[in-house]
Amino acid sequence: MRTGAARQAVRCRSMTEQQIPPAEDCPACGEPLVHISSEVSSGAFRTQAASLPQIPIHSYDCPACGTCWKRGQRLLPDPVRQILRGP
């Protein structure tokens, strides 16, 4: 059985081997989105998140209208990154 650190290393290694989904158009303005980063996560903000299924989460920005998006299983607004990015 793998330790927690070994499981995390396997998740990180598999994330670098995954391909980034093709760029989509921004739902707000229709311009192409720009890929910013990817990580493996459950997407949950709680301590039990480690026991939830881990999936790749891809972050995108729209240079035209300045909105932030994330794609796990579908494209959704990313309010946390939007606030951090500012106006």
Domain boundaries, position 78: 4-85
Which residue in 59, 5, 67, 64 sits closest to 32, CA to CA? 64
Strand ranges inside 1-87, DSSP E:
34-41, 55-61, 68-71, 75-77
User: Cα separation of 22 and 24, whole Å?
Assistant: 6
At residue 42, φ and ψ (nearest 5 deg) are -85, -20
pLDDT value at residue 77: 94
DSSP state of 83: H
User: Cα separation of 70 and 75, whole Å?
Assistant: 6
Per-residue pLDDT of the chain (87 residues; tens, 9 = 90+): 444 444 444 444 444 545 788 889 999 999 999 999 998 887 676 766 677 888 888 999 999 999 999 998 899 999 988 998 876
